[in-house]
Amino acid sequence: MNFAKINNVVDSLIHKKEIPPILVVMVPPINREQEYGNNPAFARAFATELVPMIDQRYRTQAAPSSRATLGASLGGLIAVFIGQNYPQVFGNVAGQSSGFFAETSLESLRNAPKINLVFHLDVGTYEANFHGRNLLEGNRRLRDLLREKNYRLQYKEVHEGHSWGSWRARIADALRFFWGTLPVKY
């Protein structure tokens, strides 16, 4: 989480009036392989326990369009899974180099009716062989599926690899896409 420097990114966007003030909650993984792998128990706790606790402690906007899940790598996989399973809580989903390396990860989205979600996806072109897994192709398949189902989608491929430096550089793109007052420039 320290590598993301999301606090700096968010503060800068707010200061420049590119997005309205937002509250960011980051959940550190304990066992990310177990928690983030399309885990229904983790998703349920995130949406039905953590979000209500945050709502009680802070002044939030409960509309799904005011909330997003965002994650990188396996965090991107669980971000999509949470959004898909709790669209009444989260209306925006951002996945950066999401861990869509198995076709089974896409099956539930493919077979489900379209729901009201907005997606930002980005991936590096040097992620075609990340520890033997083709994240680039998996994200392209997800992109194609979302386009086929007419989801609102921002998709970007960059000539980068699987790293926080790469993801940090594009967090602002996702936030501007969801809540920006100025157009995102590429």
Give tens-digit pLDDT for 55-114: 999 999 999 999 999 998 888 889 999 999 999 999 999 999 888 766 666 888 888 889
Among the four given CATH numbers 3.40.50.300, 3.40.50.720, 3.90.650.10, 3.40.50.1820, the one describing domain 6-179? 3.40.50.1820
CA distance to 50, 51, 149, per residue, from 44 (Å): 9, 10, 25
Share of the chain above pLDDT 70, in %: 88
Q: Which of 78, 85, 173, 88 is nearest to 123 (CA)?
A: 173
Give tens-digit pLDDT for 36-71: 667 889 899 999 999 999 999 999 999 999 999 999
Q: What is the mean pLDDT of residues 133-148?
A: 92
DSSP the chain: -TTT-HHHHHHHHHHTTSS----------SSHHHHTTT-HHHHHHIIIIIHHHHHHHS----SGGG-EEEEETHHHHHHHHHHHH-TTT--EEEEES----STHHHHHHHHSPP-S-EEEEEEETT-TTBTTB-HHHHHHHHHHHHHHTT-EEEEEEES--SSHHHHHHHHHHHHHHHH-SS----
From CA 26, how far away is CA 31, in angstroms rounded? 15
